[in-house]
A and B are shown apart, each in its own frame.
Chain A
């Protein structure tokens, strides 16, 4: 029976769109702990999961919720949690565990102002570097973002597909405005949604080694309960999944956890380009700020200023090469963000001094307006 929202045009919050995207992607387990401005994701899934046989559990805290998601995922079910900054900090230990044990799952962070409990009801983009480096130790990270309800729906599906493809936690960074903005969304028939499911072993249980990586960089983890017995640990392990102290084994594992993302960066990274062909000024923006930037680009063009927009919908891995490719032909970059320059750092590193990078930062809890970006561009011109 088709889902009751399939094919319908709805007015939905970004948070609801995230929950709907998760369901369309095949997510059937959610564990979480409520926190503004992410709570509607949990609320909506608690309401909707019973209709599709999904399981919802409110855990004792964010750490427990992340643990429950990892455990659920190991049985083969697609699992997700959602939180905001303070909860994202708590989840980092287990996000690192999922990265090390290569357990696919999706972690949504609807960002609010920080540090600590910060500004619960106000937007920010202050967690973008925490997404990259919040869990200790070297490992590749995939972090997506979105700027509208429709894009949140699509990016949530993509997050699951990337998690299942690369066997890792995938992060989805929203913010209070995207999460709480109600706008039109078209929900497709679930049968038309591209869904990727993790591979299962092709060898019998007695020949199975969980971390052998038959195709090079990505392991094939058998769903728990299917007769394949193996060990899961946060310690450095070898192909068997048991801890090792062998230097070669340690080294190859740590390198592989980064290399599996580096090697596939072109398949993962996605950018939206607006009026960049003849641009003198490139605005680099993401998430809610990209909406303001689009309007600012139109206003720049009306005033005869050749501005263009490079919008990142994948924040990690960072599109270093794509940013550098623009650096030779433009006069300057402008990076507006709701933090004190976290991704501007990455733009600066990517540009390698080939062009000046101007920052536009706002951390008072209000969004960056199109006018502020327009003014920043004019100042540069």
Chain B
């Protein structure tokens, strides 16, 4: 497979860098393909713009950053406006529909869903919004197996939160599947 490039974007504190690491670990350790994860954030501890990138390939990954995105996740309007133009033709844009109301014009598929609201109201905690997003991305992109994602999540999350995170991931999967089904 050629490079598959993913960017997770939003603001600091949303857990996007951790989500990027989990995704890369699922691909590289459990799916046994190559993956590289990088990140970009401002000097602030939280609140500033934050993004994580995951590049997946069956070949060597020399340049580690994304160039033309196959998949963009945006949890803020600012990040969506800034990065939508980096999507490939027929790329996938997934946005939090409460936070992102204006979708830039472009030749890509758009999936809108209230990610933060799902985390708060259906799973019960805002902090798992990143895991909900991973579930949605897994279902829509098909680039990583669900089993590998589950293993990678369980290997990363704090002890005692496994059930909560699995609930978040499955809720994300269901949401993603229904979005694909339209």
Q: Which residues of A contact B (CB under 8 A)?
A: 9-11, 36, 120-121, 177, 180-184, 291-292, 294-295, 367, 369-371
Contacts and interface: CB of A to CB of B under 8 A. Distances in A.
Nearest to B152: A11
A9 B64 contact: no
Contacts of B29: 9-11, 184
Interface of B, helix, strand, loop or mixed by DSSP: mixed
Contact of A120 (B25, B34, B38, B43): B43
A291 B64 contact: yes
B36 interface: yes
Nearest to A178: B64
Contact of B28 (A183, A291, A292, A295): A183
| Most chain A CB inside 10 Å of its own CB: which residue of B24, B64, B67 | B64
Given A11-B21, A120-B43, A121-B42, A184 B63 contact: no
Interface in B146-169: none
Contact of B65 (A10, A11, A120, A367): A367
A11 B35 CA distance: 9
Nearest to A294: B62
A370 B63 contact: yes
16 contacts: A9-B29, A10-B29, A11-B29, A36-B43, A177-B38, A177-B64, A177-B65, A181-B36, A182-B21, A182-B24, A182-B36, A184-B28, A292-B63, A295-B62, A367-B65, A369-B65
Contacts of A370: 62-63
A300 to B, nearest CB: 13
Given A11-B21, A11-B29, A183 B43 contact: no
Interface string B20-54: 11001100110000111111111100000000000
Contact of A183 (B37, B40, B41, B65): B37
| Most chain B CB inside 10 Å of its own CB: which residue of A121, A181, A182, A367 | A182
B20 to A, nearest CB: 8
Contacts of B65: 177, 367, 369
Contacts of B41: 121
A294 B60 CA distance: 10
Contacts of A180: 38-39
Contacts of B64: 177, 181, 183, 291
Nearest to A183: B36
Interface size class of B (residues with CB under 8 A): 20 to 34
B61 interface: yes
B37 A182 contact: yes
Contact of A369 (B38, B42, B63): B63
B110 to A, nearest CB: 27
B43 A121 contact: yes
B38 A292 contact: no
| Most chain A CB inside 10 Å of its own CB: which residue of B35, B38, B42 | B38
A111 to B, nearest CB: 16
A9 B35 CA distance: 13
Given A121-B42, A121-B43, A184-B28, A295 B36 contact: no
A121 B37 contact: no
Contacts of B35: 11, 183-184
Contacts of A291: 62-64
Contacts of A183: 24, 28, 35-37, 61, 64
B63 A295 contact: yes
Contacts of B25: 11, 182
Contacts of B28: 11, 183-184
B62 A181 contact: no
Nearest to B65: A367
Contacts of B39: 180
| Most chain B CB inside 10 Å of its own CB: which residue of A11, A120, A181, A370 | A11
A315 to B, nearest CB: 20
A222 B152 CA distance: 48
A232 B64 CA distance: 45
